[in-house]
Amino acid sequence: MSDRHDTTSRSVTILAIETSCDETAAAVVVDGRDVRSSVVSSQVDLHARFGGVVPEVASRAHIESLVPVVDEALARAGVDGADIDAVAATIGPGLIGSLLVGVSAAKAYSLAWGVPFVGVNHLEGHLHAAFLEDPDLVLPAAVLLVSGGHTLLVAMERDGRYRLMGQTIDDAAGEAFDKVARFLGLGYPGGPAIDREAGSGDPTAVAFPRGLRHQGFDFSFSGLKTSVVRYVKTHPEVAIPDIAASFQEAVVDILVEKTRAAAASIGARGICIGGGVAANSSLRERIVSAAHADGRRPFVPSRAMCTDNAAMVGATAWYRLRTDGPTPLDAAADPNLRLPLVA
């Protein structure tokens, strides 16, 4: 490899691509920290009338948007192909048709420009988002990853080494937000809609159940969702903001309680949240107060960094390029890829 690809001594500029679900995103990130551009083209309007992401619609939209989004990211960063040292893309988990668009494009750019390709785990991307904005990583850290597809509680004892402490046994937290919002007629995506409604509601209006409370670090949200549906059907007079606020309170209570307990059990110095649900106003506030009350340092990414974006992919790619080297060009996108865990 030429000097240009030496990732240890000089600055490394990465073009990163994210197409795992319904956002087409590209970013230029230097040395895993310095975000020169981050462009996100959302497909929300395309999927809204279906009340959720339609995989075939998503992959077609990625195909249409990808090149313009990459061009925009390069232009905003003031670079072109000759300045790029590696091209990264989310390789899983996600929708296979959507992942394939980003992965194939990234491999093509890497071949055309003669630079390495780096396949990035989307969950590790969400995890790195917090450290991208606040590089003072303190370990050990308890990390709560909450998105539309995942709810994981992870112990990070050493940089880049993750141990699974708990996960959902049914719906992901974001999925619960989306399903409840849909039932309440608040539209898609549900998380931001519930967050908004909850702002003018009373979180103590209805005492919804807290699944698996005091039972280890696993989560369960499907009973909560059923309970909201049953309650609304039998109490149609209760105002939607009160239902939204009470539902959100039930989710956030359990997320905060378990993260706090997990942090205590590993003697964590830091508490970190990531994933789309980490954009939730109440979760953000409560995790910061809990961390401060317990003498731990909170790592809470900005809202834009919580939801899907390519800057987090670029940051993770830089780290993985240094630790594991490039990803072979024959590596396949994996819709079920898991976070690389240690025992």
- Which residues would be at the binding site for ligand KG4 (CB under 6 A)? 21, 147-149, 174, 177-178, 189-192, 195, 275-277, 279-280, 307-308
Of 74 and 103, which has the nearer Cβ to ligand KG4? 103
The token pair at 76 is 């905003």
244: its two tokens: 């939204």
Name which of 21 and 115 has its Cβ closer to ligand KG4. Answer: 21
Q: How far is the CB of 95 from ligand KG4 (least distance, A)?
A: 10
CA 277 to chain centre: 8
Say whether residue 24 binds Zn ion (CB under 5 A).
Answer: no
Tell me which residues in 135-174 interact with Zn ion (CB under 5 A). 147
Report the distance separating Cα 273 and Cα 279, nearest Å: 9
38 is an interface residue for Zn ion by CB under 5 A: no
Whole-angstrom Cα distance, residue 62 to residue 102?
Answer: 8
CB of 306 to ligand KG4, least distance (A): 7
Handedness of CA 223, 185, 189, 337 (dihedral sign): positive
Tally of CA atoms within 13 A in the half-sphere of 61 that contains its CB: 21
174 binds, among ligand KG4, Zn ion, none (CB under 5 to 8 A by kind): ligand KG4
- Using the minimum distance from each CB to ligand KG4, give the nearer residue, 177 or 299: 177
Whichever of 19 and 327 has its CB closer to ligand KG4, that residue is: 19
Sign of the C-alpha dihedral, residues 44, 45, 49, 50? negative
Among ligand KG4, Zn ion, none, the one that 160 touches (CB under a kind-dependent 5 to 8 A) is none
> 301 touches which of ligand KG4, Zn ion, none (CB within 5 to 8 A by kind)?
none
Nearer to ligand KG4, 166 or 189 (CB): 189
Among 275, 168, 260, 143, which Cα is nearest to 222's?
Answer: 168
Least distance from Zn ion to the Cβ atom of residue 97, Å:
16
Distance set, CA 72 to CA 35, 66, 140, 219, 295 (Å): 14, 10, 38, 40, 42
> 156 vs 278, which CB is nearer to ligand KG4?
278
The one of Zn ion, ligand KG4, none whose footprint includes residue 274, by CB under 5 to 8 A per kind, is none
Q: Residue 277 touches which of ligand KG4, Zn ion, none (CB < 5 to 8 A by kind)?
A: ligand KG4
Q: Kindly tell me which residue out of 308, 316, 326, 339 binds Zn ion, with binding defined by CB under 5 A.
A: 308
Question: CA-CA distances (angstroms) from residue 129 to 4, 12, 18, 137, 222?
Answer: 26, 18, 13, 12, 28
Number of residues that bind Zn ion (CB under 5 A): 2
Shortest Å distance, C-beta 305 to ligand KG4: 10
Give how far Cα 317 sits from Cα of 6, 90, 291, Å.
14, 9, 29
Report in angstroms how near the CB of residue 227 gets to ligand KG4 at its nearest.
18
Q: What angle do CA 14, 20, 24 make, to 5 degrees?
A: 65
* Residue in this structure with the two tokens 């462009």, named with its chain if needed: 39
Burial of 159 (C-beta count, 10 Å sphere; 0-12/13-18/19+): exposed
Using the minimum distance from each CB to ligand KG4, give the nearer residue, 30 or 58. 58
Indicate the DSSP class of residue 5.
G
- Identity of the residue, 125 or 270, whose beta carbon is nearer to ligand KG4 in the bound complex: 125
Shortest distance, position 164 Cβ to ligand KG4, whole Å = 17
Minimum gap (Å) between residue 177 Cβ and ligand KG4: 4
The alpha carbons of the chain give a radius of gyration, in whole angstroms, of 20
Residue numbers at the binding site for Zn ion (CB under 5 A): 147, 308
